Structure 1
């Protein structure tokens, strides 16, 4: 029994392993997620999908592909995480569940996520970390638990997190430093953030008695009454944050050996709530080893005392942001002479002088942003090693030629957000190394000759948010190394030819939000000449429009290397796009032409742009069926992304003939599309992303294929399918398109086959029954019908009789007919007889000849013998004649028995037997009897012409 039990257990384990392996290699069957999107490159979209489900108001964790690599389900309403929620995501490496309402995580909920390296549980409602909550996360590197209500961490909660390097527990409810002790079970922990808790005392002995591997420790915003470091537990600590620490200006600081903090190179000491003496004690504890310190916001502390305490030959970076410094004294920074970076931003400094900075020998970066400076006045002349100057967001209104004298090493100069109205070219005479110049958000009216003397090595120039109206020819000609030029948000309305001439290395030109019109670009030819390497041209939000279908001088003919062009959002509408607008742009890859009030696109527009792969036509008026001709896309077979959102489109049928075999992304939201058919989908074989939100779909069978395809296909994700609603019919308006039942639109072939086979069986049985029991009745009915048709036609045409009598006989009795009947009736009495061997029309169907013969004769004479009774054709003749008898109610049928046939022998021939019972007949005399009476009676029968209704007309 034990052996069987073990075998069963082994089998169960094998099954479990198989299921696990299948879960690893088998992706989710559906590719279009309910309310999530898959954001990955085309290469990784199936093997390593990145699934985004944030801000969806989910209450439970959604089902996502099993092979998901990155999952973001933040900003939802989850209250808990169960084992079954994530246990199939074995490939998951990044999980963001922040900003939910999670108060409970079941032990082992992350147990199967052994590949997870980054877990974000911030901004939830967790109040404890249990022993099993993080079980199985053996490869986790980064864990965020900040902004929760955690007050308890169980002793072995972190025992399985052997690889953890970064842990954030800030903004929780931890009260004692030994509450953090369990996290130190992660032996490789390098960064620990425990700021903004409720620690009152920091005692190193309570945290650990052994050296830790921490390199970064954040203790900020804790109300420490005492800080005691009595053993060297931080031998590798590099970064320490003590910002906002202390309480009521008091804190006992006790570091028994300065060497305990000797490894700290960066100290954040911002806005501390402690006395000057305590602050001095803290700073003295670092034994002059600090390389970088932030003293931001320490308004209550004496700056001179702080600097004396902190500055040392080792200090390289000092930040004194927002400390309300108003005046810089001449010797203020003497202790900090070795600084390479000084940040004085956000203060109230209004005046500068050279003497303020004379102590600095190797200062490279000086930041004076957000102060009250009005002039520069050559204050930096002695700082010959400066490479970066930030004077942005001050009140500087004037610059003189000597303001930056001797600053030959400066590479970056920020002067944006001031009140500068003019600049002279001499300003840059010494800025020979300048590479980045930002002059945006000033009051510059013109820049005609500002750059006539360089700076020659300038690579980035920002002149946005000024009041420039004219760009003259070769304005930037002396900036040959310029790569990036920003002129957006000015008032530029005129650009002369070769205005950008000489910019051989320019790659990006931004002219958005100006007053550029079509006239601006066409008045002066060669507006965009002189920039052979330009790759990005932005003309967004201007007033460009065209009145002609073709330009006399193509605007962009010299921009052979341009890759991205934006004409998006022209204020007055662009009117129409000339057919040769893009002539010369043989390298163009991305074209933005949305929100320009376009209503028609010229089919030849892209004849000059064979490399185009991105096209944005959104927010236009392309309502008409021929607004986007399919031929438009033929010259751009590499198009992979097409945006046609909010263009009033009623159909996507223009794509059928577009040959877009490489299109992978189609965004057509906010239109009036009511259906998507199978042919359209099949015309886009590489479609990976389809966005059709906010369209006017019809909930009928026209969309049955699209609905089923969107739910089940594994190659194209339909963005937010569950949000698609029905607009028609009215009874279904507002309901979900995805919930429309398509079963009624699908033929049930099994049921149809059952019905068809049942009908076939019934018909077979019925036909068999008729053939065996009603065969003669059916044939008789058929002949009656033919006779009826013939009689109707004859009555309508008023046809007269061609013959006196139609002779119905069997060919075996033909001798009697030829020897007796014909000589007597035709030869002696002169009757016209219709005989089938003589008068039937060759080639016609026999039945047609019979019907014509009977209805073309006044009488029908049936010569009845035993041979006659056996003949099918004779039977047909009797049937047609009897139908005529009953139809016309006249004496048109004469029965002649050539043989004596007993009545019982007539029983199988019900039609003839019925006639014999109701009518008298003529009998051929027996041998030896006189036949004169026979011929006399036959003559009398033939001579009867009136409509006699008695059936016993011949006696």
Structure 2
């Protein structure tokens, strides 16, 4: 199963490589053409026989010649004044033609040279740089005298010439001993490589590059005498050589050594560090690179005190331990590094938090701290199928108990107190982190930091740049004190959903802020006064892209006079209200991939003013621009200023647009839109007037038809806010009680009838309590309120309908309001009873009155005297009768 999986992975890898190879074959000619075009500047075409090259004149009538990538099979005959020759990437297989005697630079890399017969460099006394990289030269076949005339040669590159790593290759010291001026040697490192006594004559040799990254390197061991005859080396690179073992003190004899690179030797492990660093205090070491000196996969590794013990008395300034699966350092290990440390890099590891982190802040001169990319897994599938076994320590000094537990706690607490302490910040005592004054840059991106950014202080006067992107600081509370000198901050992709208004209160020196790929849209929308960025007066670059921002207030960037670039790409902005008039230095605003439909008039004026003062460009692509008569002014404006809009010709109208607009031909489109909108304008005006007229008629009819209901509702609404008397409900019995048994509604002409007939028969004779307005109406109360109170305080309303009654507006009011009371409150039209007198019984106008109530709710007043007693008896019965 494993074999099958491996074969599948291998097949997929081969396919990918094949695709890459084809793509490379297609891309390389294009790249060559592009490069050639770029190089053309200052160069002229020249010919050497049938060979066409590029030439450039230099002082003293000398010539530089570029014949690279010409598919040459042999070296052309060059002019005697040629001092610089590039013949790289051709098909030359031998050096048969001599070079000009004054030549100082020759590049023959990327050819097919097998042999260097007949002393091809004879007479080249002025040659300083010779590049024979990536040929097929066997150093074992080199002979004494090959480099005899290269008295001035300072740089020699023979990397990438070993074709068969299993074939024995020798570096002959007597051949290289002739290069008395050589300063830099780049050469492959064959198995069992040695540098014999002949190299002792290279007294100026300072740089030795054996790296397998740029060439072939396969030796497994570095003995303590490997560089014995190269005592003046300053730079040694033995990276990617598959080294298994380094003897103690192999580099300690190089008195002038400043730069040592043992990276990418995966099986050395941290256990080899004591041997590597042995006696480095006797050298001039400044930079040590130990990247990827552990296998790709495995449990986390740990740096112990003894690994750094030999560096304690050196003057090293840079140290790199990247890609080592490093998870922990023994507390105190970093303190063994000297105070000359300037740069520390532990990037691309798997560091977890621990006591060792306190040690970072004890360096006095540290300038750059890199603890970034702590989340990246090892490459697949190499990490699965690699055969690798790094050296491990026989013991872990961290496990030794040098102190009692109580003493350990005291030591830790003392260290912690020197790392974090309380200090006064603007009248408050705040927890403060001490950072070395010399620290300028912190790289902590992808470092698995998790939590909130609380209120705290940083004592870091020298800190200028901080990179904490790709972590999990999900809430930025703050404020953070002591950040006045920070100029660059990257807090992108931190899953932040909240940013307080005081987080950047003291970031007055911040020039570049990258806060993309978070979710702070709600926090920004709630900042109506622009308090979040109120104090960032030095900001020049602001990236808020991919933040789900749906609204920005007018004052959001009110104090950013120096802002040059604003990136708001891929948000949810549907309108633009931000004030920009004061941004006189603005160069670019990215509003791509939002939901903007247009700019309002105020925004157009603001941007127009900036267009006159600056070369401002705006990107509105992939928005939902509205193309209609409503946005005509915006479309005409953006057409006039289209040079200020990036990719303007590719803008598109939204699907909800009522008109078409071709942004690739905006002038014609704007003209057509203007004509179309004019033709529609008349229709819109007529339609609007007709609609308004029709609406007013409908509203008028509705009001007239429901005028009594409206009056009743208005009165009831007013009644809620004033105290009134009369009507109440007996909640114990559930039976409503009224002050009057009946209200008598009549016209003034029937007053005598009321006094002589109604009152005596119903009130005196039957014992009913009647409301008679001429008798019971309170003085000083508006008649409308008086009528409504009388209606509400009566069990019945009895209307004496005569001709004069029907013609009276007051009685019309009484009758209709009584009807509304019956419908809306009493729930029964029996509440109103009409007494129809003979003068209206045969008149058509009475039908309108009868329509107000049901037919059974009226009684005719008899003309015969004999029927009067029955009439009054029936009326008494109606008044006394209960109804639901």
What is the CA distance between 1:289 and its match in structure 2? 3.0
1:167–1:193 contact (8 Å) kept in structure 2? yes
1:201 corresponding residue in structure 2: 94
1:541-556 equivalences in 2 (<5 Å): 541-545=470-474, 554-556=478-480
Taking structure 1 as the reference length, the TM-score comes to 0.52
Q: Secondary structure at the match of 2:649?
A: helix
Once residues 154 and 181 of structure 2 are traced to their aligned partners in structure 1, the CA distance between those partners, rounded to angstroms, is 6
Deviations 1:907-936 (A, max 9, x none): xxxxxxxxxxxxxxxxxxxxxxxxxxxxxx
Once residues 250 and 359 of structure 1 are traced to their aligned partners in structure 2, the CA distance between those partners, rounded to angstroms, is 27
What is the CA distance between 1:162 and its match in structure 2? 6.4
1:886-905 equivalences in 2 (<5 Å): none
1:506 corresponding residue in structure 2: 439
2:154–2:181 contact (8 Å) kept in structure 1? yes
1:783 corresponding residue in structure 2: none
1:204–1:231 contact (8 Å) kept in structure 2? no
1:240 corresponding residue in structure 2: 130
Once residues 101 and 434 of structure 1 are traced to their aligned partners in structure 2, the CA distance between those partners, rounded to angstroms, is 43
1:35 corresponding residue in structure 2: none
Change (3 A) 1:121 1:406: same
Change (3 A) 1:216 1:399: farther
1:434 corresponding residue in structure 2: 341
1:908 corresponding residue in structure 2: none
Change (3 A) 1:122 1:218: farther
Change (3 A) 1:581 1:142: farther
- Corresponding position: 1:613 with 2:510: no
Once residues 745 and 693 of structure 1 are traced to their aligned partners in structure 2, the CA distance between those partners, rounded to angstroms, is 23
What is the CA distance between 1:359 and its match in structure 2? 4.3
1:617–1:645 contact (8 Å) kept in structure 2? yes
1:697–1:727 contact (8 Å) kept in structure 2? yes
1:263-302 equivalences in 2 (<5 Å): 263-273=152-162, 280=172, 283-284=175-176, 286-296=178-188, 298-299=189-190
- Corresponding position: 1:666 with 2:580: no
Change (3 A) 1:285 1:413: closer
- Corresponding position: 1:529 with 2:458: yes
Deviations 1:22-76 (A, max 9, x none): xxxxxxxxxxxxxxxxxxxxxxxxxxxxxxxxxxxxxxxxxxxxxxxxxxxxx99
Change (3 A) 1:690 1:289: same
Once residues 581 and 177 of structure 2 are traced to their aligned partners in structure 1, the CA distance between those partners, rounded to angstroms, is 73
Once residues 387 and 744 of structure 1 are traced to their aligned partners in structure 2, the CA distance between those partners, rounded to angstroms, is 71
1:177 corresponding residue in structure 2: 75
- Corresponding position: 1:140 with 2:46: no
Change (3 A) 1:303 1:278: closer
- Work out which of the residue numbers 10, 20, 30 in structure 2 matches 1:99: 30
What is the CA distance between 1:299 and its match in structure 2? 3.2
Q: Secondary structure at the match of 1:342?
A: strand
What is the CA distance between 1:530 and its match in structure 2? 1.8
2:369–2:443 contact (8 Å) kept in structure 1? no
- Corresponding position: 1:221 with 2:111: yes
What is the CA distance between 1:159 and its match in structure 2? 7.0
Deviations 1:498-517 (A, max 9, x none): 46225334333444445656
Deviations 1:678-704 (A, max 9, x none): 535314332422222222234557777
1:392-791 equivalences in 2 (<5 Å): 392-395=291-294, 397-401=302-306, 403-405=309-311, 407-420=313-326, 421-425=328-332, 428-429=335-336, 431-440=338-347, 441-448=349-356, 451=359, 454-465=362-373, 498=431, 500-513=433-446, 520-522=452-454, 525=455, 527-545=456-474, 554-571=478-495, 573-575=496-498, 577-597=499-519, 598-599=521-522, 600-602=525-527, 603-605=529-531, 606-623=533-550, 627-652=551-576, 654-655=577-578, 659-676=582-599, 678-679=604-605, 681-685=607-611, 686-699=614-627, 717-728=644-655, 737-738=664-665, 741-742=668-669, 744-745=671-672
Deviations 1:411-440 (A, max 9, x none): 222223224432242554362422222233
Taking structure 2 as the reference length, the TM-score comes to 0.56
Q: What CA RMSD, in Å, does the superposition of the two structures yield over aligned residues? A: 4.7
Q: Secondary structure at the match of 2:561?
A: coil
Once residues 399 and 566 of structure 1 are traced to their aligned partners in structure 2, the CA distance between those partners, rounded to angstroms, is 32
- Work out which of the residue numbers 204, 207, 223 in structure 2 matches 1:314: 204
Change (3 A) 1:497 1:473: farther
1:120 corresponding residue in structure 2: 35
Q: Secondary structure at the match of 2:194?
A: helix
1:6-405 equivalences in 2 (<5 Å): 99=30, 120-121=35-36, 140=42, 154=50, 168-178=66-76, 181=77, 184=79, 187=81, 190=84, 192-205=85-98, 208=99, 210-229=100-119, 234-246=124-136, 258-273=147-162, 280=172, 283-284=175-176, 286-296=178-188, 298-299=189-190, 303-304=193-194, 312-322=202-212, 323-357=217-251, 359-371=253-265, 372-374=267-269, 375=271, 376-383=273-280, 384-385=282-283, 386-395=285-294, 397-401=302-306, 403-405=309-311
* Higher RCO (CA-CA < 8 Å; seq separation 6+): 1
Once residues 360 and 556 of structure 2 are traced to their aligned partners in structure 1, the CA distance between those partners, rounded to angstroms, is 45
1:294–1:318 contact (8 Å) kept in structure 2? yes
1:701–1:742 contact (8 Å) kept in structure 2? no
Change (3 A) 1:204 1:256: farther
Once residues 698 and 708 of structure 1 are traced to their aligned partners in structure 2, the CA distance between those partners, rounded to angstroms, is 12
Change (3 A) 1:236 1:614: same
Once residues 160 and 657 of structure 1 are traced to their aligned partners in structure 2, the CA distance between those partners, rounded to angstroms, is 50
In structure 1, stretches of 5+ residues that fail to align are 1-74, 79-96, 103-118, 124-133, 146-150, 481-495, 749-955
Once residues 32 and 318 of structure 2 are traced to their aligned partners in structure 1, the CA distance between those partners, rounded to angstroms, is 46
Change (3 A) 1:699 1:514: same
1:511–1:538 contact (8 Å) kept in structure 2? yes
Once residues 99 and 709 of structure 1 are traced to their aligned partners in structure 2, the CA distance between those partners, rounded to angstroms, is 41
Between the two proteins, the alignment pairs up a number of residues equal to 578
Change (3 A) 1:338 1:171: same
Q: Secondary structure at the match of 2:260?
A: strand
Once residues 671 and 155 of structure 2 are traced to their aligned partners in structure 1, the CA distance between those partners, rounded to angstroms, is 70
2:544–2:568 contact (8 Å) kept in structure 1? yes
Once residues 537 and 710 of structure 1 are traced to their aligned partners in structure 2, the CA distance between those partners, rounded to angstroms, is 39
1:58 corresponding residue in structure 2: none
Change (3 A) 1:479 1:365: farther
Once residues 538 and 348 of structure 1 are traced to their aligned partners in structure 2, the CA distance between those partners, rounded to angstroms, is 34
What is the CA distance between 1:369 and its match in structure 2? 0.8
In structure 2, stretches of 5+ residues that fail to align are 1-23, 295-300, 376-411, 422-428, 676-884
Change (3 A) 1:744 1:306: farther
Change (3 A) 1:305 1:747: closer
